[in-house]
Structure 1
């Protein structure tokens, strides 16, 4: 009896990576030389941010995406930190707000002008002071507005309400050693961490409790990473006792054994995983490697399926990943990475080849949009919400982000003891950072205005639905014509 090898069906088997042409790269950027396992790069649909070398302090560069080519040496930077910047992260709910952590022990949040910088930006919107050692990890809450997590070399995780400059939660007893990375789950109710003590932990930040932990998730001594997947599983990268690089998949309900464990190679660069919840593809980039490997995560064994490797000549110093809403859907682009060399940043485009020019529904399920599902206060009160999804069918048009305003409490009129009312020490919530309209309206006027807005909204929704139906009909008609049915 002959056995035929069955090739697993997957629409991502033929994903291929391609660097952009030279004139689409960002040249002459002095990428930071700090020895820290950060990605050094953060990108969103408007801007590219790169941590750069800076004399007498820390700085990062923010470039509008279309500002490719050679970057002038005098190009302005964001330069308010007094020590090197170690990590940066764009706010998922406002494409003009970015947070940074630094060796100067502070976290700073910055509002970038709509069209980019024309002069150096030295004044952050808010400075968050609570760490006693350098701050190496910054990550925004995925669904609650203005909630930011920072982790420092003091082994402390702090969660802030950026809108009030207040410390919401201080988790200072859960990690006895250096924290390598932190990753929120899809609705931001939990986060997982990888630590130098070789443990992977799952933590409930609002209760300050350890939900689950695994000793020696990877037995090697070199840095590991842990990230939450959309279904609640945890994906880790690390090293074996023999210094082989490994990937593993874990079920938090049972951390006794990994669901899957794969050995990759014996290089020594830390593996940085990037996860796309829409396609269940994990891209793994090694620091100092010249390749990006990608894997599809599925519900059936062996769970982690190798897809392909993108290889280029130059090693990568860091890597940024574009959110789904910033991709070109008409080119079947399912991921875009921004690879840092020593002196340039090179975009790498991942596409699924398709013959049709029509919108590919199967490649682009609705994806996380820029609207926050909760306010900070709602999250603190115990509410959870999944990301608010948007369709990419109309090649998503961004909404106008509102400026970040910080409304600090008036300490004098506060009834709490003075000791707990300093920004950075309070554990209570406060009013959200929303801009209030100038001039007040009566209740009747307000109700009238609201009704008027709702009517306009309903009319727009009806129009969008009508246009969507029309597009579907036209696509079906076109499909029939292409197939020779009409």
Structure 2
């Protein structure tokens, strides 16, 4: 073994994990008892989704991030699948859109209301029907809008454009892998998938426990690893360092982490045996800090590493230990927003660029059609510093017309007033619309069922009253939006009534 210095310059040597208190955690969630090797949860800056146990179908729970504490056992769920839900993934460019796959052989795209799921959600926006057996994996494209990859136990890997018209899609835009002459080799059944930073390459692990690098547009296999010294289970692209990382086991059944050169999988760059446990190791990588997190299903610890381009490439930092075993793991995207606001509040506005570098934003770099035509683009980066304006490197992209600059303040404004960002695009031009100043304020309501005059009430003083007022406002907005969507039919109906009235008057005189 080569000598390794114990002294190394790092700004993450003292990183540590701390469990949340009961008031700031989610208690009472009926987590699924499925043995499928998946995360079973997904999180974004607005919501957390957890696959739950249920009888007679499949469902998952969607909770707002701030909805901590004990969860009501009868809390509404997303329950449109007829089989167990096996994977859920949030759309990286729409915090209110989530995809789910199930044992019922379908993939569904759901729209989550701004105020969360207030009643059982059974109708999906899109249903993707292209697999003949259970769908075990789904993954959104990292830079192209509306592209979703699905892998199933029918040995097919399909790429869907969910922006296509129709509520049911039966034909994918690309078939990445599929059986040839009805043969089902083990290398076609995928255990894990990972796109590189611009989505031009796809790394997969298969049932034969090898790592492969594919061209996702054509399905052509570019590199294949050897399974003699490492049996891979999960794979992850380390885009900023141009490496691949896989977790699995050695010939002696020791859990391993292995680093690869994605252009040459003949020999690994680095191997390390961890322990003799049997649980699957899930890797999570933070490209902004080059930190790697390893969490095993059934384990009570999470290991932290720092990756670099210099040997030995990977350096152990520390680990978080808990007495409770882990069932599912998820890493939030753009999670540094909350942490950054916390830091500023205690450091008098001092901005630390080394801790908060440019990060991938919530805007797509291109459309699905542009990527399918052969264009490759990296993610659109956003600044974490308030007031900093960052020029969009792809201003000509149709998906980003009208959004030439991305900043932290713009992102926060979009999240706090999402109905303006999401729904005003769907209605007609409202430039001439003027607000009705006689409209009932948020804090007034009718006390009796037959009351015609609104009764005034003081503003909400507690969080519960504020939430109730917020939900009432969302119901009003939803009703007004439905009326606005039906305006054309209502106008046609009124014109027909006027015409009939005139004809009757002429017949009378």
Length-normalised TM-score, structure 2:
0.72
Work out whether 1:272 is the aligned partner of 2:282. Answer: yes
Aligned to 2:370: 378
Equivalents in 1 of 2:246, 2:288: separation in Å?
19
**TM-superposed deviation, 1:282:** 1.0
Equivalents in 1 of 2:421, 2:207: separation in Å?
35
Work out whether 1:399 is the aligned partner of 2:411. Answer: no
The 3-state SS of whatever aligns with 2:330 is: strand
**TM-superposed deviation, 1:218:** 5.3
Aligned to 2:206: 195
Given the alignment, which residue of 250, 253, 259 partners 2:269? 259
Unaligned stretches of 5+ in structure 2?
Answer: 387-407, 432-509
Say if 1:85 and 1:38 are closer, same or farther in 2 by CA, change over 3 A: same
Aligned to 1:92: 92
Structure that is richer in helix per residue: 2
Aligned to 2:254: 244
Equivalents in 2 of 1:43, 1:236: separation in Å?
23
Given the alignment, which residue of 416, 438, 441 partners 2:428? 438
Q: How is 1:17-416 mapped onto 2 (pairs within 5 angstroms)?
A: 17-164=17-164, 165=169, 166-170=171-175, 171-173=177-179, 176-177=185-186, 178-216=189-227, 219-220=230-231, 224-230=233-239, 231-325=241-335, 326-331=337-342, 358-394=350-386, 397=412, 399=414
Equivalents in 1 of 2:98, 2:260: separation in Å?
31
Equivalents in 1 of 2:53, 2:96: separation in Å?
23
**TM-superposed deviation, 1:436:** 6.3
Say if 1:4 and 1:287 are closer, same or farther in 2 by CA, change over 3 A: closer
Superposed CA offset, 1:295-328 (max 9, x none): 1110111001111111111010111111134542
Q: Per chain length, whose mean CA-contact separation is higher, i.e. which structure has more relative contact order (CA < 8 Å, sep 6+)?
A: 1
Unaligned stretches of 5+ in structure 1?
Answer: 334-353, 406-433, 442-486
Equivalents in 1 of 2:95, 2:190: separation in Å?
27
Equivalents in 1 of 2:208, 2:148: separation in Å?
25
Q: How many residues align?
A: 389
**Over the residues paired in the alignment, what is the CA RMSD in angstroms?**
2.6
Structure that is richer in strand per residue: 1
The farther-off stretch of 118-127 and 12-21 is 12-21
Superposed CA offset, 1:269-303 (max 9, x none): 00000111111111000000000001111011100
**TM-superposed deviation, 1:118:** 0.7
Aligned to 1:415: none
